[in-house]
Amino acid sequence: MMKNAATKVITGKNTRFSYCSVWEPKSINGGDPRYSVSLLMDEGERAQYDTLKEELFLRVRNNSELIIDAKNASVLCGKLAQMANGAVYADDGMVAHIHDRKLDALEDLIESANGNPLLLAYWFQHDIQRIRERFPQVRLLKTAEDMRDWNAGKIPLAAIHPASAGHGLNLQAGGNQLVWFGLTWSLELYQQTNARLWRQGQQAETVVIHHIVAADTIDEQILQALKGKDQSQESLINAVRAQLPGKRGAA
């Protein structure tokens, strides 16, 4: 495997990494070593996230004013996960832009891969839309031809939705690095997606799983739930509900 700095800190106008463990797993706060990228939102982005988390309601002004209303803990979990990724669906179905931190982190991972193929897992539709705008070379793996081209090494950056990465899908010949742009709640889908590369026939000695995580957001709670092999999102919803003011979180 290509040698690189185990940890690097990048600061600048468009991105701030708190840590970046790309080529070697690192333990954070005593946890199990993981291949992850953790990033920080700026004050304005954090204020929007915290406002929705605390008040279950947020006004975002992009080209027009957009309303995000989280009516209960379950809806709030989904909205916070979207905001951690960089955008969120407003009540009218429009997409409210929050930040580009994960796109910046993905760009750095692509550059660090040094031409080696990356398989990208996304969750929300607005995620893949923003990814395709930033990285027009990305190719969605949907058809049998897509799968063959990936396994033949013809696709340097491929994207797949975990719901379509079921048992029996063989992608191990195309690369050994998987990037989670946004995490799934489902342990089953998470494990199945990882297993598309980490399976019999993989030629690399190591399969690298990168998690792009927004620090101090619901991303960290989801990752911990997956680490603990929690089979559902109910415990996470309950944890979020316990932090909500008033009775709105009880629904």
Model confidence pTM above 0.85:
no
What are the residue ranges spanned by the domains of the chain?
1-251
Torsion on CA atoms 103, 155, 190, 89, rounded to nearest 10: 40
pLDDT in tens, 178-217: 999 999 988 889 989 998 888 777 887 788 888 999 988 9
Beta-carbon contacts of 109 under 8 Å, excluding residues fewer than 6 positions away, are: 22, 37, 118, 179, 210, 212
pLDDT in tens, 16-42: 454 555 445 566 556 665 556 888 899
**Class of domain 1-251 as given by CATH:** alpha beta
3 state SS of 218: helix
Between residues 232 and 195, the one the model is more confident about = 195
Nearest Cα neighbor of 226 from 217, 239, 215, 235 is: 235
Residue 177 · residue 113 · CB < 8 Å: yes
* pLDDT value of residue 162: 94
